[in-house]
Homo-oligomer: A and B are copies of this chain.
């Protein structure tokens, strides 16, 4: 069986609609692990060895997060900066070669502001990381309108997030 690891970054998951639904659904599937960085490292003090061990066990890595300012949350960037070390992720002794990577994120705003050109700019740092570390980049799954601005918006976001969760599970089961 192949193992899938979700690296989840969300500062207030209790208030989350999309990332909560997606990560909860994912965690119920077989051979999956969710590492919620903000819960594990509330003081930003990342256990690099533990994170590298989790990566070594995974065949597929999912980066899961809400989009903040056209970019990943700071916690996920911190994790990448600390964990993707020379001699582990790239260079002599690199150990991640060939693992699969999926980008999975939620956007509060409507789809009209996010044509493919923008999505590709958002995905670029992950695509670059994958190329540099010789990972297989499988692409992006994202959804829009994930916000709780009203009761109707929350209901709509719940629907959309459930569909997103489904897509993600189909991808890792194929």
Contacts and interface: CB of A to CB of B under 8 A. Distances in A.
The 8 closest A-B pairs by CB, nearest first: A74-B78, A74-B77, A70-B128, A121-B124, A70-B125, A44-B44, A71-B125, A121-B121
How many A residues touch the partner, as a band? Answer: 20 to 34
A80 B69 CA distance: 8
A86 to B, nearest CB: 12
A81 interface: yes
A73 B69 contact: no
Contacts of A84: 69
Interface of A: 11, 43-44, 68-75, 77-78, 80-81, 84, 118, 120-122, 124-125, 128-129, 132
| Interface SS, A side | helix
Contact of A68 (B74, B81, B118, B122): B81
B70 A77 contact: no
A75 B80 CA distance: 12
11 contacts: A43-B44, A68-B81, A69-B77, A69-B84, A69-B129, A71-B125, A73-B81, A74-B80, A75-B78, A120-B121, A121-B124
Q: Which of A72, A74, A75, A124 has the most CB of B within 10 A?
A: A74
Contacts of A118: 124
A43 B75 CA distance: 13
